[in-house]
Amino acid sequence: MLSTLTIVLPIFAIIFAGWLARRIGVLGPQAGREINRYVVYLALPALLFDVVAVADWKAIWHPGFVAAFTLGVAIIFLLTLFVRMRAGRPLADAAIDGLNASYGNTAYIGFPLTLAAIGPQGMPLTLIASIITVCVLFAIAIVLIEIGVQAQAHPLHIARKVASSVLRNPLVLAPLLGALVPILGLSLPSPAETFLKMLGGTAAPCALVSLGLFLAADKVAGEASGGTTAMLVGLKLLVQPLVTWALVTWVFHLPPALGQMAILLSALPTGTGPFMLAELYEREARVTGQVVLFTTVIAIVTLSAYLSFAH
């Protein structure tokens, strides 16, 4: 456990540094937004483009890994959606709760954690998990939210709005453009590779600081929402990795290295995407903020325990 804490704690220490900088006033209320924009529009796209452009996709494409991780996400999302709608939640709010329970922080924590715990060989698998989470799951949630808030809207209008939102996302465009490099048989010039390495190298620390600034926001603070928050936290940190473990072990029979990566990525805390959607669509965001906060803090223990067990 102690050796794995040395891997996990520096990552969460950077998050805490961002949180502390905001709470004591070193960074202002707009700092988180601006750093997040830098990560989303510059640093992380550079990292994603570089990873895709130089990856040996024939060697890393593992359908079993994709299926196990995707099914683990889908089962938790649909289960939460069903439970919350049965409890009387509107479709839009139930979809956000589904994200709370299944949307792992693959971008902001997944990449730096994989790099520290597994090494560069784990980065392409993390990219695949990130695409599934940030693109596919996020798009499905947006469709459901749009259906919920625009009950009278024409389906084509909803489809156009969703497609436009997804295709303009730099985290979607960057890997798609990066994929053109191997598809066209090209190679990156040395100056371009250096540029991408330098810019992409800032993604992880800046993303972690941005997450800390987000967690320090007043909208996340306040009285907890009791059972709902606890249920969503439990689904994300305990049930989702257990479901993925069952799929990895009994359904797809993945090799240990691939299975461990699928479980590790399933055990990540909730990302900020659900909170962004709650704010965008003016839904109740306090529970979402609390789920992000509590899963991030508790994940220090759960991820350390899992890495200790896996090794």
HSE-CB at 217 with a 13 A cutoff on CA atoms is 22
Domain residues of the chain, as ranges?
2-310
Residue of 52 and 167 predicted with greater confidence: 52
The arithmetic mean of pLDDT across residues 155-181, rounded, is: 78
Q: Are 67 and 124 in contact (CB under 8 A)?
A: no
3-class secondary structure, 185? coil
CATH architecture of 2-310: Up-down Bundle (1.20)
CA-nearest of 172, 174, 210 to 38 is 210
pTM assigned to the model: 0.81
Tokens of 184: 């066209």
C-alpha–C-alpha distance, residues 152 and 114, integer Å: 44
Q: Which amino acid is at 227?
A: G
C-alpha–C-alpha distance, residues 92 and 146, integer Å: 7
Per-residue pLDDT tens over the stretch 17-49: 999 999 999 999 889 889 888 988 899 889 889
Average pLDDT taken over every residue of the chain: 86
Per-residue pLDDT tens over the stretch 288-305: 888 988 999 899 889 988
